Structure 1
């Protein structure tokens, strides 16, 4: 009887823990879906003005803006890529607008067009504010001699280009795009694997339950 009781307690406890982990992931899924829906609504909202200097925060992240101004003479190139088409570079430059200079991520150029001369040009840009946190301890330092960056480091890029640490990612561009394809901000890249995690925990719970039934069956066979 003690063997039955121990196996039953072990089985029920393990199943309860695994099911609770699965339910927790479902709660996280609901939270993440709400976050993504909020970000999508923020991206698609009516454009407004640039935030005042020093007023950038998570509350203004993804906010749409419409700006008219002139691109800078110097570009920064971040290694990126076209899906299914190979390597490319994201072009980031300073942008003078309304008496201020901010960073503008104009979009992607193919690898062969990286170093093509693109003189300053006047543009009207519909874009979104963004504060990407891409740089980690494992991110290589930018190769300044070849003008290749491996992550968007807004403060460092702004300091190099003499701009405010405000990044606008272009969504629509009116004017001479100079063969640069806008690569707008979307919510597609935000990780949301909570459903897969929940399925994994529930599957483990089912396996644990099956192992418990098998263990009880083995105990019964031995005691017959």
Structure 2
């Protein structure tokens, strides 16, 4: 019986320590993300890339692209922002090198489409590079056939819009036009909550307390 208890206690202790270590790794990941956001999002804009991109090197990089919007191929992606529930307006931008999906910004539920701005002719788009969001979210999936979108999936949006070989990313555009215009750009969340250190310390403290408690239990059993 004592060996069984010791074995179970060992598993619990290792699990608690493992959870604390996982939070430490998440802490380093979050710090790297925050550093990337600070250095890329507020840097001098560069030309939108024409090749592959990656989370490590390109996400949240400030970029600029020039081309013409295809408003006829716009799609709405479900969103909740500081302005409330509504949608992101995703519109393809045809450039000289490729077609890039642009998140033009947020529109609230119930806003008539006639109230949206629709820039025509050549435009210059500046914003943050974002990696495609395939398939959907943990709770919902995209339904291209019904034109219901919960994530900004570049490949799926391109397929239903008949766009061949799009850029493998999209751009969260800054506000274009007067501040009161819809869609409302520049709403990318670039502030990230970082509680991983407190979580890690909590798990480690629980591991120490558990070890102390098991020591007391085993001491009493030996005395008995």
TM-score, structure 2 length as denominator?
0.73
Q: Which has the higher contact order (CA 8 A, sep 6+)?
A: 1
Distance 1:108-1:211 versus aligned 2 partners, 3 A rule: same
Extract unaligned runs of 5+ from structure 1.
none
Flag the structure with larger Rg: 1
CA contact (8 A) 2:116 2:182 kept: no
Partner of 1:173: 176
Match of 1:57 among 53, 59, 76: 53
In 1, distance between residues paired with 2:180 and 2:98?
Answer: 21
* Unaligned stretches of 5+ residues in structure 2: none
Residues in 2 aligned to 1:134 and 1:202: alpha-carbon distance in whole angstroms: 36
Deviation at 1:66, TM superposition (A): 2.2
Cα–Cα, structure 1 residues 12 and 72, in superposed 2: closer, same or farther, change >3 Å?
closer
Q: Quote the residue 1:152 is aligned against.
A: 152
**1:48-197 to 2 correspondences below 5 Å:** 48-52=46-50, 55-58=51-54, 59-74=57-72, 75-83=74-82, 86-98=84-96, 100-113=98-111, 115-116=113-114, 118=116, 120-122=118-120, 123-136=123-136, 139-142=140-143, 144-145=145-146, 147-161=147-161, 162=163, 164-165=166-167, 166-174=169-177, 178-188=181-191, 194-197=196-199
Cα-Cα RMSD: 3.7
Count of aligned residue pairs for this structure pair: 214
TM-score (norm 1): 0.73
| Residue aligning to 1:43 | 41
